[in-house]
Chain A
Amino acid sequence: DAGVIQSPRHEVTEMGQEVTLRCKPISGHNSLFWYRQTMMRGLELLIYFNNNVPIDDSGMPEDRFSAKMPNASFSTLKIQPSEPRDSAVYFCASSSNLGTGGGSYNEQFFGPGTRLTVL
Chain B
Amino acid sequence: AQSVSQHNHHVILSEAASLELGCNYSYGGTVNLFWYVQYPGQHLQLLLKYFSGDPLVKGIKGFEAEFIKSKFSFNLRKPSVQWSDTAEYFCAVRPNNAGNMLTFGGGTRLMVKP
A interface vs B, CB < 8 Å?
31, 42-43, 45, 48, 50, 55-56, 91, 93, 95, 103, 105, 107-113
B interface vs A, CB < 8 Å?
32, 34, 36, 42-46, 49, 90, 94, 96, 99-102, 104, 106-107
CB of B100 within 8 A of CB of A48, answer yes
Q: How long is the Cα–Cα vector from A105 to B49 in the complex, in angstroms?
A: 12
State the majority secondary structure of interface residues on A.
strand
CB of B107 within 8 A of CB of A48, answer no
CB of A42 within 8 A of CB of B107, answer yes
CB of A105 within 8 A of CB of B43, answer no
Which residues of B are found within 8 Å of A113, using beta-carbon distances?
43
Of the residues B43, B94, B106, contact of A110 by C-beta under 8 Å: B43
CB of B106 within 8 A of CB of A42, answer yes
**A105 CB, nearest partner CB in chain B, Å:** 4
Of the residues B45, B49, B100, contact of A50 by C-beta under 8 Å: B100
